[in-house]
């Protein structure tokens, strides 16, 4: 079990340049999309994070050949040799469900384990299932596995009852090879969904309305290979921006896409930080006085749920009371109890966390329960006086590439301990 140990300082000021990696949540569906063709799909700006390795293990089991290099990945699925995504893999990474749509569309059958519970709350996949059924799939559930079958998917008019990133991605992929037109309404508009759709278009898909709530897809008989770059990770970028504001530091983020971070940048400015935006670069200069504010998570372009835990840490240093309302996941406050161990003053009431600041935190041993919770604990550890040890740090490796190395180069006293 690896741990991260941080020597925190109340007066730590991070300084320097950090290169933002490719997006975890964009690369996972892009990898799944390679199941839609027998030709080679080449992806650039691929982050070397654990979820990518988990996805590649899954893909190998399904018949994919791949070659992963520094920042580049080529994938080729000449034939789908197995139609099954096992419980072991789906439990390790819920995004495994993204193979369902493309596998079904290409080979007429997909068997995927039901994901079950998750650290951030109930995460059903009913919207994926309903959509695929509307495309003509026959879906059965037995022994914890979903089997979806269809000799030929047929286009349909589908309205998502609720915005779903993975559901939109699964359905767009399936619709690309369905016969006729599919209209998807109330689609998630996250940049990661748009990045996937641009890849699909390069592969020969006919999709209108990229980035809009309604997309129209004209099914084609087959898709081909493509070369495609993964967008920068807006959540990694946001995490470093919070690190800059929190430590009243001065950071330059490079290879970032500022237009994906508008809401996050607005909130950082409200907190008092100076944020300068240039093409592919963002500079943040933290302010001595951090202002409190209320934040409500919502689907893109709203404030991302994946940045909620990190902003909570910033709010512990703000003067006054801040209220964070989580509307996407019903149990995404697992970091609160750990932040309390560091001395934060936070109460949770239903979907709200009420943060009283400013508090001076002191280092302690804490345990990460999910990816973004881990990020928040590392941020808190930077400014909590003394040693903070973050246990079960493998969660952080799922989505951040060498976070401790990047922070160390900015002046943090942080190291990874194994065992």
Per rule CB under 6 A, is residue 260 in the interface with ligand EPU? no
Binding to ligand EPU, residues 81-120 (CB under 6 A): 94-95
Which region, judged by CB under 6 A, interacts with ligand EPU, from 2-10, 121-129, 219-227, 389-397?
121-129
Residues in contact with ligand EPU, shown as a per-residue x/- string from 310 to 329 under the rule CB under 6 A: ------------------xx
Distance of CA 233 to the CA centre of its chain: 8
Contacts of 297 (CB under 8 A, 6+ apart): 303, 304, 305, 308, 324, 325, 326, 327, 328
Per rule CB under 6 A, is residue 167 in the interface with ligand EPU? yes
Is 197 one of the catalytic residues?
no
Neighbours of 235 (CB within 10 A): 24
Quote the least distance from Cβ 25 to ligand EPU, whole Å.
Answer: 3
Q: How far apart are CA 163 and CA 225, in angstroms?
A: 29
Q: What are phi and psi of 248, to 5 degrees?
A: 50, 40
Per rule CB under 6 A, is residue 236 in the interface with ligand EPU? no
Per rule CB under 6 A, is residue 189 in the interface with ligand EPU? no
Per rule CB under 6 A, is residue 125 in the interface with ligand EPU? yes
Rg (CA), the chain: 21
Among residues 32, 282, 318, 371, which is the contact residue for ligand EPU, using CB under 6 A?
371
Q: How far apart are CA 231 and CA 191, in angstroms?
A: 8
Quote the least distance from Cβ 274 to ligand EPU, whole Å.
Answer: 28
Which region, judged by CB under 6 A, interacts with ligand EPU, from 103-111, 165-173, 255-263, 340-348?
165-173
Per rule CB under 6 A, is residue 372 in the interface with ligand EPU? yes
Q: How far apart are CA 97 and CA 115, in angstroms?
A: 8
Q: What angle do CA 318, 319, 321 make, to 5 degrees?
A: 85
Please answer whether residues 306 and 347 qualify as being in contact, where contact means their C-beta atoms are separated by less than 8 angstroms.
Answer: no
Please answer whether residues 326 and 348 qualify as being in contact, where contact means their C-beta atoms are separated by less than 8 angstroms.
Answer: no
Per rule CB under 6 A, is residue 165 in the interface with ligand EPU? yes
Quote the least distance from Cβ 93 to ligand EPU, whole Å.
Answer: 8
- Interface with ligand EPU (CB under 6 A), residue total 24
Quote the least distance from Cβ 419 to ligand EPU, whole Å.
Answer: 26
Per rule CB under 6 A, is residue 164 in the interface with ligand EPU? yes
Catalytic residue, candidates 118, 176, 187, 197: 118
Residues in contact with ligand EPU, shown as a per-residue x/- string from 22 to 61 under the rule CB under 6 A: ---x--x---------------------------------
**Measured on CA atoms in the order 389, 390, 394, 396, is the torsion positive or negative?**
negative
- 124, with CB counted inside 10 A (0-12, 13-18, 19+), is exposed
Residue from 211, 205, 199 nearest 182 by CA: 205
Residues serving a catalytic function are: 118
> In the complex, which residues of this chain contact ligand EPU (CB under 6 A)?
25, 28, 94-95, 123-128, 162, 164-167, 188, 192, 305-306, 328-329, 371-372, 399
């Amino acid at each position: 079990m690896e741990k991260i140990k941080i020597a925190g300082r109340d007066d730590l000021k991070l300084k320097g340049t950090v290169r933002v990696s490719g997006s975890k949540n964009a690369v996972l569906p892009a990898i799944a999309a390679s199941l839609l063709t027998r030709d080679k799909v080449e992806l650039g700006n691929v982050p070397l994070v654990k979820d990518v390795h988990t996805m590649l293990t899954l893909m190998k089991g399904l018949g994919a050949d791949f070659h992963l290099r520094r920042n580049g990945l080529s994938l080729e699925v000449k034939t789908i040799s197995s139609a099954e995504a096992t419980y072991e893999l789906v439990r390790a990474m819920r995004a495994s469900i993204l193979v369902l749509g493309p596998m079904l569309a290409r080979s007429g059958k997909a068997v995927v384990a039901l994901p079950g519970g998750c650290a951030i709350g109930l995460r059903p996949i009913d919207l994926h299932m309903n959509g695929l059924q509307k495309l003509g799939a026959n879906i059965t559930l037995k022994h914890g596995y979903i089997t979806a079958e269809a000799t030929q998917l047929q286009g349909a008019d589908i309205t998502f009852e609720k915005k779903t990133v993975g559901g939109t991605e699964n359905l767009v992929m399936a619709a690309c090879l369905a016969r006729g037109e599919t209209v998807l309404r109330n689609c998630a508009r996250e940049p990661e969904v748009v990045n996937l759709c641009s890849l699909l278009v390069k592969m020969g898909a006919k999709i209108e309305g990229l980035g809009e709530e309604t997309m129209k897809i004209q099914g084609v008989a087959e898709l081909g290979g493509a070369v495609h770059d993964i967008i920068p990770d807006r959540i990694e970028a946001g995490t470093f921006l919070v690190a800059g504001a929190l430590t009243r530091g001065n950071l330059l983020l490079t290879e970032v896409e500022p237009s994906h971070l508008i809401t996050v940048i607005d909130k950082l400015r409200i907190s008092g930080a100076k944020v300068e935006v240039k093409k592919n670069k963002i500079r943040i200069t933290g302010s001595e006085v951090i202002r409190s504010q209320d934040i409500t998570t919502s689907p893109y372009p709203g404030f991302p749920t994946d940045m909620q835990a990190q902003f909570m840490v910033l709010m512990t240093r703000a003067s006054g009371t801040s209220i964070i309302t989580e509307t996407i996941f019903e149990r995404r406050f697992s970091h609160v109890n750990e932040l309390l161990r560091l001395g934060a003053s936070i109460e949770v009431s239903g979907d709200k966390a009420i943060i009283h600041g400013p508090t001076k935190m002191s280092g302690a041993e804490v345990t990460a329960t999910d990816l973004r919770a881990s990020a928040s604990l590392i941020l808190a550890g930077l400014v909590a006086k003394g040693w903070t040890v973050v246990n079960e740090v493998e969660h952080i490796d799922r989505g951040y590439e060498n976070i401790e190395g990047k922070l160390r180069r900015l002046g943090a006293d942080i190291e990874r301990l194994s065992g």
